[in-house]
Amino acid sequence: AGKAFRKFLPLFDRVLVERCAAETVTKGGIMIPEKSQGKVLQATVVAVGSGGRGKNGEIQPVSVKVGEKVLLPEYGGTKIILEDKDYYLFRDGDILGKYVD
């Protein structure tokens, strides 16, 4: 996957993320059918842009870094396929939050 990101880098305040896999088995071991699986809102940041311009013209850096886990809105983002894998492009302001260890 590392080679794909050398060919594609987000611009300005955009963030490229890879959604985490949906849970297919409960903690008790019960299989969850595809229709019952919820939409995955957690993702890992794989690439970030340089930042957007503020009102005074200075570049505002993106608030997340590569490798961080973030919470996404239920709808939105642009789907991008790189080397047969699905990725999503969001604006930095659209990301709801990030997980800390």
Segment 37-59, tens digit of pLDDT: 556 688 889 988 888 887 888 88
How far from each other are the two terminal CA atoms of the chain, in whole angstroms? Answer: 24
Q: What is the mean pLDDT of residues 3-22?
A: 76
Q: Give pTM, 2 decimals.
A: 0.74
Whole-number average pLDDT of the chain: 80
Q: What is the pLDDT of residue 89?
A: 92
Q: What is the pLDDT of residue 11?
A: 84
In the chain, the domains with their CATH numbers are 14-98 (2.30.33.40)
Residues 6+ apart with CB under 8 A from 66: 45, 46, 47, 48
Token pair of 2, please? 């590392």
Buried b (16+ CB within 10 A) or exposed e, 29-49: eeeeeeeeeeeeeebebbbbb
Q: What is the mean pLDDT of residues 13-38?
A: 72
pLDDT(1) > 50: no
Q: What is the pLDDT of residue 69?
A: 92
Largest alpha-carbon pair distance within the chain?
Answer: 55
